[in-house]
């Protein structure tokens, strides 16, 4: 009786071992021949926007390097939270990638209290792909021509100068809030809805004096003389706008920021897959054609030295913005 | 002369076989999605945008533009035939167009819509060609205070849409405004009436309410009426407009084109605002305003001309300044950027082929739409002879597919069903859905522009009377209010006298 029970237990153990072995083997095989099916990139914004633009630019080359078709799925809504939620709950097998950006990953968690996703826990960063600097623009008739003059002008008129933003919780608003604190300026915030377009139009029409925009949405208006640029939020000047000084050189080193975009995968994705993706993304971002296309609109094609470096980058970015958010007290729900 | 050369260049681009084919594909797709309720131009262009990346820039833009104005055409078809506005701008067309169809004049209503749209499209194309840069400057001059006053004027004009009780119309507008407040507030980031459901963060989609109130609500009402609802299937006559019909179309079409061309320049609800302000204008100008809401041909011709003209002039800020005035235009800018082109003032000088090619293609597209739509009218009208026990389930099915396709969200379908029930109750209470939808569209815009104008003026309300544009609209709004209220007072007094005489 005891013997049979023992035998049974031994048998069960053997079966369990065998099953584990098969599972391990199959998962190892799944990793080694990854990717063997099309890969989906979830873009949490509508087609035609900056994120979609970045995803579609790198799609052909990345697909070529990985030897698999890459499908871009636009799942917009709730400031990108809908798509982020979907991506976070996807199977962590390397077949669902998430195109995160400064808004979804670094800002939204501190603005939307009801957000279920905790980006730094639910995702593993792979690599940054695009660095989109912020551009401080103003109506051409607005007297100050650089940041120094702006600070003097606003200090002489506390609470009189208005600045626009594409939304209460947008990175462009936070960039201005951060600069405003650094320089000790009292200005009125005028929020807009529906992307940078409507806000830019009102700065162009002279209804609001100035705002931060992403360089890609401002560069053409600046080059066309419709708007003037007072500063750019990079450490070094941007090649496309060589005459525009950085915020740092004008004395505001804290005003270094970027509307970055990068690839993340759901937490639990096997490390070999992450490494393989990282290698392919780094290679993709070296592509001259992609670099040139991004540069046309002032965007800098970049990649992270390692997934860990990207993680550190996001952590620093999130810490910076959450600090600004706490200070000014923006909160939804 | 330069204009002539530019247009010649434009037509030489637009008339190449490939571009003609893409233009035709665009308007065909546009018509189809316009006819399908729920699936609007924004969704369709989003889906097709990636496909156009592989095309040359001019072909991509021509095709996408074709989808956009094709949808404006197609949207009116279902509005007229089954009281189901496919696009927000065809809500107004449904009011009299559907009544015309019920009276067996569906063919005439469709022909009126097609012809006045073509007329408006032609004029608007000429306006873009001649005056685009100048008009773009005018659009920039419009500040938040001016928008507020314009929207207020629009909201008051929305009352005129109702052909029944004014009090009920005001009530419906207010319900619409309340529904419009749902979602995350732009100024504070606070959630309003979202009940903790993340999907409500962006508010309710227009199509959900429109499909529910019009499509599903109408279906329930027809079930209740039973056999009687088949009356409009009998005696379909007058497919083609007679000379008298054409005479009564021309003036409203001209006025609609003028209003539409102006309002199309403004961001936001251009085509919607255009179509219903034209309707209000026609009703006020008519010798017998009681015909409106009962199948007045002017009520189809004016708004249809207006929404098509507005759809066309909406391209002006995008083409000349690189500024999007609507979601569709934002997509167009996205398409240009993917082509490696920078939308902005320099587009016209750097790529005249693209600019003028698109303008020429607009007129060609409008021509194609007429050629495409006029022969289809016979088929559409035949569709009405399908027994209604088969037609209505089909409508319901298309409503559900259309609503689901917006966000791939089943909650939207449930919401549409709820609004269907609400629409039925409103129908029984003789409360019309059109004012509610306009309140829903205009309410949030009024709130946004009011708060923005006051933020900019640092809380000084005088900004609304100090700006000439704003002041003009406020005066117009006040006059309109007087015109609206005066007859009511007179009628009440008359009633009082009549009662006194008894």
B317-326, pLDDT tens digit by residue?
888 888 887 8
CA distance B208 to B203: 11
Contact A219 B317 (CB under 8 A): no
Q: What is the mean pLDDT of chain A?
A: 86
**CB contacts, 8 Å: B144 with chain A:** 202, 207
Q: Considering only CA atoms, which of B408, B438, B412, B409 is closest in space to residue B212? A: B412
Residue B372 clears pLDDT 90, i.e. is over it? no
Pairing label, strands A39-43, A300-301: unpaired
The beta-carbon neighbor of A78 closest among B142, B198, B325 is: B198
In a domain, A242, yes or no: no
Contact B194 A296 (CB under 8 A): no
Residues A203 and A66 occupy one common structural domain = no
- Specify whether the CB–CB gap between B136 and B320 falls below 8 A: yes
**How far, in Å, are A19, B177, B187, B473 from residue B144 at the CA level?**
68, 19, 14, 13
Query: Does A292 lie at the interface with B, CB-CB under 8 angstroms?
Result: no
Reported as a single tens digit per residue, the pLDDT across A40-95 is: 999 998 777 788 888 988 988 998 898 888 888 888 777 888 889 989 999 998 89
- pTM assigned to the model: 0.83
C-alpha B264, offset from chain centre = 10
Helices (H), chain A: 2-32, 50-66, 81-88, 108-111, 119-122, 147-156, 171-183, 196-204, 215-223, 271-285, 288-296, 307-328
Which two tokens mark B290? 């009681």
* Confidence band of B242 (pLDDT split at 50, 70, 90): confident
Residue A229 clears pLDDT 50, i.e. is over it? yes
Here the CATH number for the domain that contains residue A286 is 3.40.190.150
For chain B, what percentages of helix, strand and coil (3-state, to nearest 5) are there? 80, 0, 20
CA distance B470 to B477: 10
**CB contacts, 8 Å: A74 with chain B:** 46
The beta-carbon neighbor of A190 closest among B184, B191, B455 is: B455
Contact A204 B187 (CB under 8 A): no
Q: Which residue of A has its CA nearest to B335?
A: A48
Report the range of poorest mean pLDDT among A20-24, A282-286, B58-62, B373-377: A20-24
Contact A168 B267 (CB under 8 A): no
Q: How far is A261 from chain B (nearest CA, A)?
A: 17
In a domain, A250, yes or no: no
B388-400 mean pLDDT? 82
Pairing label, strands A210-214, A162-165: parallel
Q: Which residue of B has its CA nearest to A167?
A: B186
Query: Does A192 lie at the interface with B, CB-CB under 8 angstroms?
Result: yes
**CB contacts, 8 Å: A205 with chain B:** 140-143
In a domain, A189, yes or no: yes
Here the CATH number for the domain that contains residue A169 is 3.40.190.10
User: Any idea which residue has 């309720």 for tokens?
Assistant: B37
Contact A205 B322 (CB under 8 A): no
Residues A138 and A285 occupy one common structural domain = no
Residues A55 and A204 occupy one common structural domain = no
CA distance A113 to B96: 47
Q: How far is B325 from chain A (nearest CA, A)?
A: 7
Residue at which a domain ends, from A198, A232, A266? A232
- Specify whether the CB–CB gap between A72 and A55 falls below 8 A: yes
Dihedral sign from CA coordinates of B384, B386, B388, B393: negative
Residues A112 and A139 occupy one common structural domain = no
In a domain, A31, yes or no: no
Residue at which a domain ends, from A232, A266, A299? A232
Residues A186 and A119 occupy one common structural domain = no
Q: What is the pLDDT of residue B502?
A: 44
Residue B391 clears pLDDT 50, i.e. is over it? yes
In a domain, A28, yes or no: no
Contact B140 A47 (CB under 8 A): no
* Confidence band of A248 (pLDDT split at 50, 70, 90): very high
* Number of domains into which chain A is organized: 2
Residue at which a domain ends, from A197, A232, A267? A232
Dihedral sign from CA coordinates of B3, B7, B8, B10: positive
Q: Largest Cα–Cα distance of chain B, in whole Å? A: 79
What is the residue range of A70's domain? 37-132+258-328
Neighbours of B389 (CB within 10 A): 9
Residues A117 and A139 occupy one common structural domain = no
Strand partners, A74: A43
In a domain, A3, yes or no: no
Residue A5 clears pLDDT 70, i.e. is over it? no
* Confidence band of A244 (pLDDT split at 50, 70, 90): very high
Residues A151 and A181 occupy one common structural domain = yes
Contact A77 B317 (CB under 8 A): no
**CB contacts, 8 Å: B346 with chain A:** 220, 223-224
DSSP-assigned letter for residue A246:
B
In a domain, A215, yes or no: yes
Residues A155 and A117 occupy one common structural domain = no
**CB contacts, 8 Å: B323 with chain A:** 197, 200-201, 204
DSSP-assigned letter for residue A227:
S
Q: Which residue of A has its CA nearest to B455?
A: A190
Q: What is the pLDDT of residue B237?
A: 55
Residue B500 clears pLDDT 70, i.e. is over it? no
Contact A47 B331 (CB under 8 A): yes
In a domain, A141, yes or no: yes
Residues A166 and A220 occupy one common structural domain = yes
Q: What is the mean pLDDT of chain B?
A: 83
Q: Largest Cα–Cα distance of chain A, in whole Å? A: 97
- φ/ψ region of B126 (left if φ > 0, alpha if ψ in -120 to 50, else beta) reads alpha
Pairing label, strands A39-43, A70-74: parallel
Residues A128 and A141 occupy one common structural domain = no
Q: What is the pLDDT of residue A99?
A: 94
Q: How far is B355 from chain A (nearest CA, A)?
A: 17
Pairing label, strands A39-43, A96-101: parallel
The beta-carbon neighbor of B345 closest among A46, A47, A226 is: A226
CA distance A185 to A159: 8
Residue A12 clears pLDDT 90, i.e. is over it? no
Q: What is the pLDDT of residue B236?
A: 53
Strand partners, A189: A163
The beta-carbon neighbor of A46 closest among B46, B344, B455 is: B46
Residues A289 and A264 occupy one common structural domain = yes
């Amino acid at each position: 009786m005891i013997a049979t029970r023992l035998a049974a237990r031994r048998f069960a153990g053997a079966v369990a071992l065998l099953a584990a072995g098969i599972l391990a083997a199959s998962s190892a095989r799944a990793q080694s021949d990854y990717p063997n099916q099309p890969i989906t990139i979830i873009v949490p914004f509508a087609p035609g926007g900056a994120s979609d633009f970045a995803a579609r630019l790198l799609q052909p080359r990345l697909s070529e390097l990985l030897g698999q078709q890459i499908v871009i799925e636009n799942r917009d809504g709730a400031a990108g939270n809908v798509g982020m939620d979907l991506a976070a709950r996807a199977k962590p097998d390397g077949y669902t990638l998430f195109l995160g950006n400064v808004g979804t990953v670094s800002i939204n968690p501190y603005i939307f209290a009801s957000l279920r996703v905790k980006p730094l826990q639910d995702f593993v960063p792979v690599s940054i792909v695009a660095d989109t600097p912020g551009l401080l623009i103003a109506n051409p008739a607005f007297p100050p021509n650089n940041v120094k003059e702006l600070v003097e002008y606003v200090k002489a008129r506390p609470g009189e100068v208005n600045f626009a933003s594409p939304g209460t919780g947008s990175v462009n608003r936070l960039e201005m809030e951060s600069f405003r604190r650094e320089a000790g300026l009292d200005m009125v915030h005028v929020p807009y809805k529906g992307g940078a377009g409507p806000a830019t139009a009102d700065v162009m029409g002279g209804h609001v004096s100035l705002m931060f925009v992403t360089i890609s949405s401002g560069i053409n208006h600046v080059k066309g003389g419709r708007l003037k640029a007072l500063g750019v939020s990079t450490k070094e000047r941007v090649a496309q706008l060589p005459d525009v000084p950085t915020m740092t050189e004008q004395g505001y080193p804290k005003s270094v920021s970027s509307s970055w975009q990068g690839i993340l995968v759901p937490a639990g994705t096997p490390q070999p897959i992450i490494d393989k993706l990282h290698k392919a993304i780094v290679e993709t971002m070296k592509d001259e054609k992609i670099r040139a296309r991004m540069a046309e609109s002032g965007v800098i094609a970049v990649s992270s030295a390692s997934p860990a470096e990207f993680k550190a980058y996001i952590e620093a970015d999130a810490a910076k913005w959450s600090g600004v958010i706490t200070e000014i007290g923006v909160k939804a729900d | 002369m330069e204009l002539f050369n530019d247009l010649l260049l434009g037509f030489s681009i637009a008339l190449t076989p490939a571009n003609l084919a893409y233009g035709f594909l665009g308007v065909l797709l546009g018509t189809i999605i316009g006819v399908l309720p729920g699936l609007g131009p924004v969704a369709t262009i989003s889906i097709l945008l990636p496909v156009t990346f592989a095309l040359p820039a001019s072909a991509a833009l021509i095709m996408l533009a074709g989808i956009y104005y094709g949808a404006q055409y197609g949207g009116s078809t279902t509005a007229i035939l089954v009281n189901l506005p496919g696009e927000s701008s065809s809500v107004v067309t449904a009011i009299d167009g559907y009544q015309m169809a019920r009276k067996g004049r569906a063919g005439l209503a469709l022909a009126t819509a097609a012809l006045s749209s073509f007329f408006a499209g032609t004029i608007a194309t000429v306006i873009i060609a001649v005056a685009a840069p100048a008009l773009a400057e005018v659009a920039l001059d419009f500040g938040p205070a001016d928008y507020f006053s314009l929207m207020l004027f629009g909201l008051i004009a929305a009352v005129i849409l109702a052909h029944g009780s004014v009090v009920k119309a005001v009530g419906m507008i207010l319900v619409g405004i309340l529904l419009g407040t749902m979602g995350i507030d732009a100024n504070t980031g606070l959630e309003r009436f979202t009940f903790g459901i993340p999907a409500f963060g962006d508010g309710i989609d227009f199509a959900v309410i429109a499909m529910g109130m019009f499509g599903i609500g109408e279906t329930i009402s027809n079930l209740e009426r039973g056999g009687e609802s088949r009356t409009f299937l009998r005696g379909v006559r007058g497919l083609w407009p007679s000379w008298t019909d054409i005479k009564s179309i021309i003036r409203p079409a001209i006025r609609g084109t003028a209003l539409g061309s102006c309002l199309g320049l403004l961001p936001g609800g251009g085509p919607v605002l255009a179509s219903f302000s034209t309707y209000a204008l026609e009703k006020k100008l008519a010798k017998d305003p009681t015909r409106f809401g009962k199948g007045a041909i002017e009520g189809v011709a004016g708004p249809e001309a207006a929404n098509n003209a507005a759809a066309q002039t909406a391209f002006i800020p995008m083409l000349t300044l690189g500024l999007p005035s609507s979601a569709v235009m934002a997509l167009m800018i996205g398409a240009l950027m993917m082509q490696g082109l920078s939308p902005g003032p320099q587009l016209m000088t750097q790529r005249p082929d693209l600019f003028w090619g698109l303008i020429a293609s607009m007129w060609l597209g409008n021509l194609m739409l007429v050629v495409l739509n006029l022969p289809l009218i016979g088929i559409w009208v035949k569709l009405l002879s399908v027994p209604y026990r088969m037609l209505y389930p089909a409508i319901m099915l298309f409503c559900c597919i259309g609503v689901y396709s917006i966000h791939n969200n089943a909650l939207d379908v449930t919401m549409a069903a709820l609004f269907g029930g609400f629409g039925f109750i409103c129908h029984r209470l003789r409360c019309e859905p059109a004012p509610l939808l306009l309140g829903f569209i205009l309410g949030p815009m009024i709130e946004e522009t009011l708060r923005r104008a006051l933020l900019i003026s640092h809380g000084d309300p005088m900004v609304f009377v100090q700006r000439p544009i704003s002041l003009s609209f406020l005066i117009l709004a006040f006059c309109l209010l007087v015109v609206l209220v005066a007859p009511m007072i007179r009628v009440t007094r008359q009633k009082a006298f009549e009662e006194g005489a008894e």
